[in-house]
Amino acid sequence: YHASVISHMMKAMIEDKAVIKRSVSVMSVSYQLERIADLANNICEDVVFMVDAEVIRHHRNPYFNEHTM
């Protein structure tokens, strides 16, 4: 998701120099939200481990296969 935001904001900044400051802010927010999501995911994985003694890190998502990645 963050990569698509960066791509979109870069295009917007190239087309209109007036949106550079706003675009940089949007990119920063996008990065921070992605980081928050990663940390929340880590917390969830830790909780599953504490409750079920099951390590779920680095498991493939069953909804994706090699062809979709």
The amino acid present at 55, given as its one-letter code, is V
Average pLDDT over residues 44-50: 93
3-state secondary structure of 29: helix
Lookup: tokens for 59: 């498991």
Residue partners of 49: CB distance under 8 A and separation at least 6: 55, 56
Q: Is the pLDDT of residue 35 over 90?
A: yes
pLDDT interval class at 68 (50, 70, 90): very low
The proportion of the chain whose per-residue pLDDT surpasses 90, expressed as a percent, equals 74
> How much is the pLDDT for 1?
85
Average pLDDT over residues 40-48: 94
